[in-house]
Structure 1
Amino acid sequence: MTTQTVEYIRYRIPEARSAEFLAAYTRASRHLAASPHCVGYELDRCEEDFENFILRIVWTSTEDHLEGFRESELFAGFVAEIRPYVGGIDEMRHYKPTTVRGPGSAEPTLYEWAGAGEAFDRLTSVFYDKVVKDDLLGPLFAELPAEHAARVALWLGEVFGGPSAYTERHGGHSHMVAMHVGKAITEPQRRRWVNLIQDAADEAGLPTDAEFRSAFSAYIEWGTRLAVSFSGPDASRPAEQPVPRWNWGSAPPFRPRPAR
């Protein structure tokens, strides 16, 4: 489990002082942002009771917060800005995340947006038809099993938010990585792989919107570079770990609001 910790600081600030409180935290946040131990922060205000605020800070670890940030000059600058409001603190504690977590349904998964399993079946079918005929990639896949395209479709489906079919049938992330050990994949081969799967995505009719293709391309870049790394002469099979789950990242799906 991650060593990151979440600090919650709950304030009760009279509404008459809320504007100056927010201004003080705007200044103080520069010290948080500059800390190598701060992963991120957010100050929220209660909708039902405007006098209640919650500051949420994610630290690399509790130790890094207490012995790193608090022992630094940044902490002194931070406290100088928010000192007038320390008396309004109702709670200040560290929390560790639990295993209870998951996405909601407000946004579709990339898997759903792409067209679910059928879309990834089309993608890998078109893609491997290209691969076996390619001068650079053909030799790598000379003994391609008949079920390989379907297996990769399951992998991509799971990565992009679909069912855990690859994990259940074939194993987790380390199983996929192990398929590349000893292959000595070159950078030109990696780039050709990227180009061909992008072409295959067009031909297979995957969504062409900027948001989906941005997320799709980000995974393809990450995954192929990892494959090259694990195909090198000194690479070994990694420890078992879950299949990575890709999401929309910084650009969620664009869905026009209905006219009112």
Structure 2
Amino acid sequence: MIVEYIRYRVPSERTGAFEDAYRRAAVPLSRAPQCVDYELTRCEEDTECYVLRIRWTSTRDHLEGFRGSELFGEFLAEIRDYVPAIEEMRHYRQIGVEGNGAAVPTLYEWAGGAPALDRLFTAFYRRVPEDEVLAPVFADMHPEHAKHVATWLVQVFGGPEAYEGGHARMVGRHLGRALTERQRRRWVTLLMDTADEAGLPADPEFRSAFAAYLEWGSRMALLLSQPDAEPNLDEPMPRWGWGAIRPWQPA
């Protein structure tokens, strides 16, 4: 993806109309298949200064795709009067230096850290041998299996990087297992139930992120376990975050 930054300087008497124009222009922009997301911000120290950030699928998609479409005509019609106010309009490539600050806790921290995830998987794998669907899958389970899985999720959820073997090891645990959709669904359902037993946070924001990971992870395991699977063992460890919903905290 490519990030385009457009910097405007708009006279104070026109800022209200400028913002209204972009609210209208956002309608065709949001429909453009080349547009990933966008955001218009206003400087607090210099209130005549605005920055529009647009992430495009590529520079070419923006310049040849969007600008050659009818949607660009609709977009431009709304903000044409403010083109002379542009001070900079360039594309920037992301270089991988990114992350979250301490203002937003990781899923690992919000869940209660390693003790909470250890508690979750200890309780879960205590229930597995009694489950008619999952018992055959874990019939030869290693005594330390619950600990290994908890350590995996600790790292995936933003905690210490302590899972030995990385992504390749986890992939290897599923190769050739020929898991079924019924087993996958039961694994997710039982683990969600166990989260209540283990006392994991029950707020909607955490549970939605937790459920999203279980769906993604279990579906990946299902695919990787099939006879025709061709996994990429060089993929990095996944890192799971809050997604669109951040944790609610009282003011």
Q: Which bracket does the TM-score occupy, shorter chain normalised? A: over 0.9
Equivalent in the alignment of 1:201: 195
Cα contact 1:202–1:208 (8 A) shared by 2: yes
Aligned residue number for residue 238 of structure 2: 244
Aligned residues: 251
- Report how far residue 194 of structure 1 moved: 0.9
Q: Secondary structure at the match of 2:130?
A: coil
Output the CA distance in 2 between the equivalents of 1:256 and 1:12: 36
Q: Take 2:189 and 2:75, find their aligned partners in 1: how far apart are those partners?
A: 48
Q: 1:53 aligns with which of 29, 34, 50?
A: 50
Question: Alignment partner for residue 29 of structure 2, among 24, 29, 32?
Answer: 32
For residues 100-179 of structure 1, the aligned pairs below 5 Å read 100-166=97-163, 169-172=164-167, 174-179=168-173
Task: Indicate the residue corresponding to 2:91 in structure 1.
Answer: 94
Separation (CA, whole Å) in 1 of partners of 2:3 and 2:128: 46
Deviation readout 1:161-212 (Å, 9 max, x if unpaired): 111111xx2222x431232121111111111111211122112221122221
1:254 & 1:86 partners in 2: Cα distance? 39
Mapped partners of 2:175, 2:65: distance in 1: 39
* Structure 1 residue 157, shift from structure 2 partner: 0.8
Letter in 1 for 2:117: F
* 8 Å CA contact retained: 1:11, 1:91: yes
Q: Which one of 210, 213, 220 corresponds to residue 216 of structure 1?
A: 210
The amino acid that maps onto 1:171 is G
Distance 1:115 1:218 in 2: 18
- Unaligned residue ranges in structure 2 (runs of 5+): none
Distance 1:23 1:237 in 2: 49
Taking the aligned partners of 1:10 and 1:208, their CA distance within structure 2 comes to 42
Question: What are structure 1's unaligned runs of at least 5 residues?
Answer: none
Deviation at 1:132, TM superposition (A): 2.3
AA aligned to 1:50 is: T
User: Which residue of the other structure, out of 183, 186, 191, is the alignment partner of 2:185?
Assistant: 191
In 2, Cα distance between equivalents of 1:215 and 1:223: 12
**TM-score normalised according to structure 2 size:** 0.96
Percent identity (aligned): 58
- Shift in Å at residue 103 of structure 1? 0.8
- Structure 1 segments, 4+ long, off by >4 Å, are none
User: Would you say the 8 A contact 1:181–1:236 is kept in 2?
Assistant: no
Aligned-CA RMSD value: 1.3
Aligned mates of 1:94, 1:48 — CA distance in 2: 25
- What is the CA deviation profile of residues 75-102 of structure 1, one whole-angstrom value per residue up to 9, with x for unaligned ones? 1222222111111110000001122211
| Among candidates 10, 14, 17, match of residue 14 of structure 2 | 17
In structure 1, the partner of 2:222 is: 228
* Partner Cα distance (1:29, 1:214) in 2: 28
Q: Secondary structure at the match of 2:119?
A: helix
Question: 1:228: Cα distance to partner?
Answer: 1.0
Q: Which amino acid is the alignment partner of residue 56 of structure 1?
A: R
Paired amino acid for 2:165: H
